[in-house]
Amino acid sequence: MKDNVKKILLLLAFSAITACGPAVKVEQASSPAANEIIAVNSPLAYFTRQLAADLVAVNLPFKNDIDPSQWQPKLDDIIRLQQAQLIVLNGAGYSSWLDKVALASAKLIDTNANNKAQLIALPKQSTHSHGPEGEHSHSGYAFTTWMDMTLAKRQATAISDALIKTYPDHRIEILDRTTILLAQLSQLDADYNKLAKRLEGKTLFYSHPVYQYFQQGYNLAGYSFHWEPNEMPDEEQWQTLSRLRKNNSDALFIWEDQPNAQISKRMNDLDLDLVVIKPAANRDELNWFTEQQLNIERLIAVLN
Amino acid sequence: MSDIFYLSLQYIRYHKKKLMVLTFAITLVSWLPLAMQSIVEQTAEQLSARANSTPLVIGAPGSPLELSLGSLYFRTKTPNSLPYAELAKVAASGYAQAIPLYYRFNAQGNPIVGTNIDYLVHRQLQIAKGRHVAVLGDAVLGADVAKKMALGVGDYVISSPESVFDIAGVYPLKMKVVGILQPAFSPDDQAIFVDIKTTWVIQGLGHGHQELNNKASMAQILKKDGDNIVANASVNQYNQITAENADSFHFHGDNNQRPISAIIPVPFDKKSQALLLGKYLEEQGRVQIVRSPKVVNELLDTVFTVRDYIVVGIAMVGIATAIVAALVFFLSLRLRKGERFTLARIGASKIQIFLLMAIEVISVLFVSAFFSSLLILATESYGIQLLQKFLLT
């Protein structure tokens, strides 16, 4: 009886809350989904385009040649993201804007969701504490996972799974295209492995700390700098390089992009080989796969 | 015939108080059961429609009724929470689209519902002014909330603290109103919609504060030990998310462990619904899945039973009223015995006398029926709104 009274009171309260008119009336809403998939960088856009083919347009969210990891969406971009069918993310904290925008989680494809165990934590930045919540730190993960083809293949598979879920009628075609893409990535993996063996014994220098997964995947440990290809490093940085190289005469400097003539000359003067291995995350005229093939060609050339 | 009506009219004018009381009593007694029936049916219809549009709700273990009603009407106090990771599990099942809900907070009594854009699409809610929620700190108001709080696009709505005594707690968050919804004639009209992450900021699980790694913050630093900075309580935490400070907002801990009140799974088809239900019924204890229509129907069954008792009670009162009315008419007729005698002596026919006596009864019943019909029509149209106003004010 007590329960019944409680239920009656609930009903009275809810009758008051629910009813606002003589009849239930809803406006028709049009689905905001646009026929577009947005991938947050070039490798993911390449994988998605290869897998989706002409099913749907695959675009990057930005037009200029900028670092996708530094891109921040403006209001128009967010609305476009909200309207996209899928948003292909790199995960690993790559898109720092993700925590600040309102997007439906069902549309978000974290391509590194199955690579969590392989993610490389960056050194802890500052730890601080204030207020009742105590100590907390702002740290993250290295994110250029696509430079280890084993991880890249899992990213491609995650995209394939998401596409099959979104376009179940095209499952067979998507699976066929997945096989082709995975074969491409396997070929790149084999080529990088072959070249990694030839790089054994060399001291490697990296212009930027973006090769963590490349180093991990192909056992190519080295020293990372923070050098820009179009900005001459100061003398202290050159001295650091010389000091690190002193005991390792057989060395190779790996650049993200072609360094300018002055830097190249200085390296030449130091008798230090350099090679460009582009992670190729940015928008470019060439697609990501072609960039990787060019990376391999350049590595072969420098090793020969 | 006109002489009969003239005499009747004079009689009614002379006895208007007595007849008004009689009319009022009969009107009420005939209106009440029908009004009760109408309100219960309208409520049942609306409850069922809302529940049918949300056939399943997933939440933390507890009362299925509170979970259902909380998810449908956002009115449950401090609902049990489940981890956000559950949302991904529902989505990964492949049986349904998963929509998160976090309705723990409010602004001046209006529920703040943390969700995502899928909720608005699922409920077919249309923006009347402005736009959808796009960034952290944006809020879209239901039509009634906007009207009640006199807020428009560009204004601000501030979350209410959970406890006035929680001085050391989280600051209320000032949220920018970016859109107003069209009236949906549902509980969504009385809610404030924000992104789920905004509710976590309200809870203090995410925050923005001044940069601690610069000279300007030296006064706030208590201790700096390598990478570890300990700041005092004067660190400026932002209580509003703006374009200027948005970058400083961040969350700590595992995203998947953050709380939500419930998940609305939108099954892709009937088969998926059955499979999802089966999957979660196996996992009862950790989480619960409830069938909203079943829960609401159980509630309504009880309500209908009680309504029947009330209707029986009213019917008995009605019978008593009818008996009293009959007695009043009977006594009235006895009192008018002299009047009948006089009418007969001055030549009125038996039919004329009968009509004169009957008009009293007929006019009372007719007027009562008229007012009762008006009241029933008013109840059908405005009864629940009046009830709402009565209960909420």
Using a CB-CB distance cutoff of 8 angstroms, which residues of chain A are in contact with residue B227?
124-127, 137
Please give the backbone phi and psi of residue B11, each rounded to the nearest 5 degrees, phi first.
-65, -45
Q: CB count, 10 Å around CB of B330? A: 10
Which DSSP symbol is given to A41? Answer: S
Chain B nearest C-alpha distance from A158 (Å): 12
CA atoms within 13 A on the CB side of B359: 18
Q: Distances in Å between the alpha carbon of A102 and those of B87, B134, B135?
A: 16, 5, 5
Q: Are A281 and A71 in contact (CB under 8 A)?
A: no
Q: Summarize the confidence of residues B212-239 as an average pLDDT.
A: 64
Contact yes or no for B118 and A104 at CB 8 A: yes
Which residue among B121, B184, B384 sits closest to A26, beta carbon to beta carbon? B184
- Of the two residues B104 and A123, the one the predictor is more confident about is B104
Q: Domain A196-303 is in which class?
A: alpha beta
Q: Is the pLDDT of residue A30 over 50?
A: no
The alpha carbon torsion through A189, A195, A200, A201 (nearest 10 deg) reads -150
What pLDDT digit, counting tens, does each position of B5-56 carry?
A: 888 888 888 888 988 988 898 888 888 888 888 887 887 887 888 888 888 9
Q: Summarize the confidence of residues A79-96 as an average pLDDT.
A: 93
Contact yes or no for A105 and B91 at CB 8 A: yes
Q: How confident is the model at residue B165 (pLDDT cuts 50, 70, 90)?
A: low
In chain B, which residue's Cα lies nearest the Cα of A125?
B227
Predicted confidence at residue B152, as pLDDT, reads 95
Tell me what the pLDDT averaged over chain A comes to.
85
Predicted confidence at residue B107, as pLDDT, reads 93
Sequence-ordered list of residues with C-beta below 8 angstroms from that of A223, at least 6 positions apart, any chain = A203, A204, A205, A206, A244
Contact yes or no for A129 and B45 at CB 8 A: no
Contact yes or no for A99 and B251 at CB 8 A: yes
The angle, 0 to 180 degrees and rounded to 10, between the axes of the packed helices B350-392 and B2-14 is 50
Predicted confidence at residue A17, as pLDDT, reads 44
What pLDDT digit, counting tens, does each position of B296-320 carry?
A: 888 888 877 877 887 788 788 778 8
Q: Which CATH superfamily groups domain A36-118+138-185? A: Nitrogenase molybdenum iron protein domain (3.40.50.1980)
Q: Summarize the confidence of residues A129-156 as an average pLDDT.
A: 77
| d(C-alpha B263, C-alpha B92), whole Å | 14
Same fold: A36-118+138-185 with A196-303: yes
Question: Which contiguous run of DSSP H or E holds residue B128?
Answer: strand B127-130
Predicted confidence at residue B325, as pLDDT, reads 79
- Proportion of chain A above pLDDT 70, given as a percent: 83
In chain A, which residue's Cα lies nearest the Cα of B209?
A130
Interface test with A, best of B84, B175, B185, B207 (most A CBs within 10 A): B185
Q: Is the pLDDT of residue B170 over 90?
A: no
Sequence-ordered list of residues with C-beta below 8 angstroms from that of A234, at least 6 positions apart, any chain = none
Give long-range contacts, CB 8 A cutoff, 24+ apart: A247-250.
A248/A203, A250/A201, A250/A202, A250/A203
This prediction has a pTM of 0.77
Q: CB count, 10 Å around CB of A168? A: 11
Angle at the Cα of A292 (from A286 to A296), degrees rounded to 5?
130
Contact yes or no for B229 and A101 at CB 8 A: no
Predicted confidence at residue B319, as pLDDT, reads 86
Best mean pLDDT range from A221-230, B159-168, B251-260, B342-351: A221-230
Q: Give the residues across from B208 on adjacent strands.
A: B249
Interface test with B, best of A9, A27, A80, A82 (most B CBs within 10 A): A27
- Matching residue, tokens 């400026």: B236
Q: Is the pLDDT of residue A143 over 70?
A: yes
Contact yes or no for B100 and A25 at CB 8 A: no
Q: Distances in Å between the alpha carbon of A288 and those of A185, A293, B263?
A: 11, 9, 39
Predicted confidence at residue A247, as pLDDT, reads 67
Predicted confidence at residue B221, as pLDDT, reads 64
Q: Which of the residue ranges A23-37, A216-230, A255-269, B256-270 would you say has the lowest mean pLDDT?
A: A23-37
Using a CB-CB distance cutoff of 8 angstroms, which residues of chain B are in contact with residue A78?
134-135
Using a CB-CB distance cutoff of 8 angstroms, which residues of chain A are in contact with residue B100?
105
What pLDDT digit, counting tens, does each position of B76-89 carry?
A: 777 789 999 999 88
Q: Is the pLDDT of residue A61 over 70?
A: yes
- Proportion of chain A above pLDDT 90, given as a percent: 62
Chain A nearest C-alpha distance from B289 (Å): 20
Using a CB-CB distance cutoff of 8 angstroms, which residues of chain A are in contact with residue B66?
none
Instruction: Report how many Cβ contacts below 8 Å link chain A to chain B.
Output: 194
Q: Provide the terminal-to-terminal Cα distance of chain A, rounded to the nearest Å.
A: 90
Q: Is the pLDDT of residue A1 over 70?
A: no
What pLDDT digit, counting tens, does each position of A242-277 carry?
A: 888 876 678 999 999 999 999 999 999 888 999 999
Contact yes or no for B124 and A28 at CB 8 A: yes
Q: Is the pLDDT of residue B239 over 60?
A: yes
Q: How confident is the model at residue A24 (pLDDT cuts 50, 70, 90)?
A: very low
Using a CB-CB distance cutoff of 8 angstroms, which residues of chain B are in contact with residue A125?
227
Contact yes or no for B136 and A17 at CB 8 A: no
CA-wise closest residue to A154 among A121, A109, A193, A196? A109
Contact yes or no for B134 and A4 at CB 8 A: no
Which residue among B121, B124, B392 sits closest to A27, beta carbon to beta carbon? B124
Q: Is the pLDDT of residue B213 over 60?
A: yes
Q: CB count, 10 Å around CB of B198? A: 27
Q: How confident is the model at residue A25 (pLDDT cuts 50, 70, 90)?
A: very low
Q: Which of the residue ranges A72-81, B180-189, B275-284 would you say has the lowest mean pLDDT?
A: B275-284
Q: Is the pLDDT of residue A107 over 60?
A: yes
Listed by start position, the domains of chain A span 36-118+138-185, 196-303
Listed by start position, the domains of chain B span 2-46+300-392, 61-205+252-286
Contact yes or no for A165 and B43 at CB 8 A: no
Which residue among A105, A131, A138 sits closest to B116, beta carbon to beta carbon? A105
Q: Summarize the confidence of residues A207-226 as an average pLDDT.
A: 93
Which residue among B118, B185, B187 sits closest to A21, beta carbon to beta carbon? B185
| d(C-alpha B59, C-alpha B287), whole Å | 6
The ipTM estimated for the assembled molecules is 0.75
Q: Is the pLDDT of residue A22 over 50?
A: no
- Of the two residues B291 and A15, the one the predictor is more confident about is B291
Contact yes or no for A131 and B233 at CB 8 A: yes
Predicted confidence at residue B2, as pLDDT, reads 77
Predicted confidence at residue B218, as pLDDT, reads 64
Contact yes or no for A126 and B228 at CB 8 A: yes
